[in-house]
Chains A and B, each alone.
Chain A
Amino acid sequence: MTEYDVIIVGAGLGGGIAAGILSEAGLRVLLLERGAALRFEDIPTDHLRNHRLSLYGDNTTLDPAAHPRVFVDASGREQVVHPHEGGYNLNAFTVGGGSRIWGMQAWRFHPDDFRMASRYGTPPGSSLADWPIRFEDLAPCYERAEQEIGVAGDHSGDDHAPRRQPFPLPPVSPTPTGDWLARGAKNLGWKTFTPPLAVNTRPYQGRAACVQCGQCIGFACPTDAKNGSHNTLLPRALSTGRCTLVTRAHAARITTGTDGRVEGVEYFAPRSSDPTNPRAEASYEHRTARARVVIVASGAIETARLLLLSKSSSHPDGLGNHSGHLGRHVQGHYYPVAYGLLPRGVENPNLGPGVSIATTRFNHGNPGVIGGAMLANDFVKLPVIFWRSSLPPDVPRWGLENKRAMRDLYLRGIDIRGPVQEIPSPDSRVTLDPRMKDRFGLSVARLSGTTHPETLRTAEFMRQRAEEWLRASGAERVWSWPAERKFSAGQHQAGTCRMSADPRDGVTDAWGRVHGHDNLFVCDGSLHVTNGGFNPALTIMALAFRTAEYIAGKVSSNR
Chain B
Amino acid sequence: MVPPDDFPGAVEAGVEDYVHRQLAGDCSREAGALTSGLRQLDAEAAARHSVNFDALSPANQDTLLRDLEAGLVSPTWPAEISPLTFFARMVELAHEGYYADPANGGNRDGSSWRMIGYDPRLPPPPLPTEAIPAPPSSRSP
Contact = CB atoms under 8 A, between A and B. Distances in A.
Interface of A: 36-42, 45-48, 55-57, 95, 205-207, 211-215, 222-224, 230-232, 234-236, 238-239, 245, 275, 278, 350, 382-384, 386-388, 397-400, 402-404, 406-407, 410-411
A230 B138 CA distance: 16
Contacts of B101: 45-48
Interface of B: 1-3, 5, 7, 22, 26-27, 62, 65, 91, 94-96, 99-101, 103-104, 112-113, 115-123, 125-126, 128-139
A214 B135 contact: no
Nearest to A94: B131
A403 to B, nearest CB: 5
Q: Which 10 A-B pairs have the closest CB atoms?
A: A206-B136, A37-B131, A410-B116, A56-B26, A384-B99, A383-B99, A214-B120, A47-B100, A235-B135, A47-B101
Contact of A387 (B3, B27, B95): B95
B62 to A, nearest CB: 7
A41 B129 contact: yes
Contact of A406 (B94, B116, B123): B116
A224 B130 CA distance: 11
A387 B107 CA distance: 14
Contacts of B125: 41
Contacts of B112: 383, 406
Contacts of B132: 37, 95, 230-231, 234-235, 238, 245
A409 to B, nearest CB: 8
Given A222-B126, A230-B131, A387-B99, 15 more contacts: A39-B131, A41-B125, A45-B120, A48-B104, A57-B26, A95-B131, A95-B132, A206-B139, A212-B121, A213-B120, A223-B123, A239-B137, A398-B94, A403-B115, A404-B5
A38 B131 contact: yes
6 contacts: A40-B126, A56-B26, A206-B133, A207-B136, A384-B95, A403-B2
Contacts of B139: 206
Contacts of A407: 7, 115-116
A222 B22 CA distance: 28
Nearest to A213: B121
Given A39-B131, A278-B131, A383-B113, A350 B119 contact: yes
Contact of B3 (A41, A55, A239, A403): A403
B133 A211 contact: no
Contact of B135 (A206, A223, A383, A411): A206
B76 to A, nearest CB: 24
Contacts of B27: 56
Could you say which of B65, B94, B113 has the most chain A C-beta atoms within 10 Å of its C-beta? Answer: B113
B135 A211 contact: no
A406 B129 CA distance: 36
A273 B91 CA distance: 43
B130 A39 contact: yes
B3 A39 contact: no
Given A222-B122, A350-B118, A40 B95 contact: no
A40 B129 contact: yes
B116 A398 contact: no
A384 B115 contact: no
Contact of B133 (A47, A56, A212, A235): A235
B91 to A, nearest CB: 5
Contact of A42 (B62, B99, B131): B131
Nearest to B3: A400
Nearest to B95: A387
Contacts of B100: 46-48, 383-384
A211 B136 contact: no
Contacts of B123: 211, 213, 222-223
Nearest to A411: B117
B95 A39 contact: no
A206 B138 CA distance: 10
Contacts of B95: 384, 387-388, 398, 402
A39 B7 CA distance: 36
Contacts of A57: 26
A38 B94 CA distance: 32
A390 B128 CA distance: 37
Contacts of B136: 205-207
B137 A399 contact: no
A402 B7 CA distance: 13
A387 B112 CA distance: 12
A278 B132 CA distance: 13
A231 B126 CA distance: 16
Contacts of A236: 135
B5 A55 contact: no
Contact of A215 (B65, B94, B120, B131): B120
Contact of B104 (A47, A238, A403): A47
B117 to A, nearest CB: 5
Contacts of A235: 132-135
